[in-house]
Amino acid sequence: MSLSICLYRCAAALAFSAASPWLSRKYSGQGLSERKGLYDRSLIDTLRRRGRPLWVHSVSVGEVQSASPFLRLAKGETKRPLLLSTITATGREMAGRILEGVPDRTIYYPWDSPFIVDRALDSIRPKAYVTVETEIWPSMIWEMKRRGIPSFMVNGRFSEKTLRSMRKIAPFWRDVLSCYSTIMVRSDSDRDGLMSLGVDGGRIEVTGDCKLDGLMERKASMDLSELSWISKGQGPLIVAGSTHQGEDQIVIDAFRKVLNHHPDARLVVVPRHPDRAQDVANVAWDTGPVCLYSCPVSGWRTMVVDKIGVLFGLYSLADAAFVGGSLVPKGGQNIMEPAIWGVPFCQGPYNDDFVQATEELFALGVGTPVADSDSMARAFLDDLDPERKRKVSESCEDYFSGGKEAAKRSWEIVSSCL
């Protein structure tokens, strides 16, 4: 064990011990026992009966969606139990929504204290372990290596912002990442970034973006009938997806400008955190009738979504879109979600988490950069042009028809160790 990992494990043990009373209060009723590495007898009995599981960890909603095609492949090609873990309640809810019957069990991820990690691994005894994207917990990864359990990263993505932070303590991250058996990343730039930290290039595989596989899978299986009531009515529909605080006002201001040219236009705002929905609705009071998704009213002009899991379907109804987390420094959200439906979109300058997709879709003319309500209004008005929508739709069809089968490539690497 390197000195840096040893110091991390000692610090983690002390930190989780000190925070235990607060954590117990915060997560009471939200998988507290599982977060402490304690599992019910039925799970343990199942694993003892059926064999050591493949453990896949996806921290929240986006990672669960990325993991979806990989998990479906695993379900069809191995008899081993599939264990999925999440950290957030919304990630767990999304898993239940799109992966029903695929994992044999979904649990909350154990805290990264060495004592809790040991207890969890003694109970679960995984045959192999997979983390999705950049969810890296050093105590867990190191303990996997010590026990001889192969561990993998699937769909790894390393933005320049992330890499800058990691370079400040490059020896530590090099030691941690070297505990993985194989690190599968989306692009050459992700691989180059890891190598700049000193990670052995022979440990890294460029497999493509599982999010693309997942989106095509979701689109093919999507039932849009429950959204038909939104598509009714005349006039264009603009969808602002995954907006963060500081963006909603800009979107609504831009929509007011659009109404000067398209008085029958409608706006759907989907806050990244649904508990902000009422606050967002209050901002839009002067655009016309306003409602929440859960309480629709006839003739609404602006609707604010107050639940998770509906944004992807809403993009299919849109004539134009804004992708949030990009006018504030949040790294951006998944611009491929509107694009897969052939919808032109705009986004702000913060796209660290989707740099490659941004470059590719902007080059195709699918996306437009915006910085404020004026530029956003202009983008919406341009995107509402029927001829532009037709060209964008054709470009998107070409882009997604070249699917990279990242999930299949990733599964081939992981399955070789099962």
Q: Please name the residue that has the structure tokens 């873990």.
A: 85
The full 3-state SS of 205-268, as one line of letters, equals EECCCHHHHHHHHHHHHCCCHHHHHHHCCCCCEEEEEEECCCCHHHHHHHHHHHHCCCCCCEEE
Half-sphere exposure of 272 (CA within 13 A, CB side): 20
Sheet strands (E) in 307-376: 320-323, 345-347, 367-369
Tokens 């989780």 sit on residue: 16
User: CA-to-CA distance for 56 and 115, rounded, in angstroms?
Assistant: 21
Q: Give the list of residues 6+ apart from residue 321 with CB closer than 8 angstroms, or none.
A: 238, 239, 240, 241, 315, 338, 343, 344, 345, 346, 383
Residues 63, 133, 143, 247: which is the catalytic one?
63
Using DSSP's 3-state secondary structure scheme, residue 357 falls into helix
Quick check: is 205 catalytic?
Answer: no
End-to-end CA distance of the chain: 26
CA 409 to chain centre: 20
- Please give the structure tokens belonging to residue 406: 């990242």
Nearest in space to 57 (alpha carbons), one of 108, 104, 117: 108
DSSP characters over 277-321: HHHHHHHTGGGS-EEETTB--TT-SEEE--SSS-HHHHHTT-SEE
Do 241 and 324 form a contact (C-beta atoms < 8 A)?
A: yes
Active site residues: 63
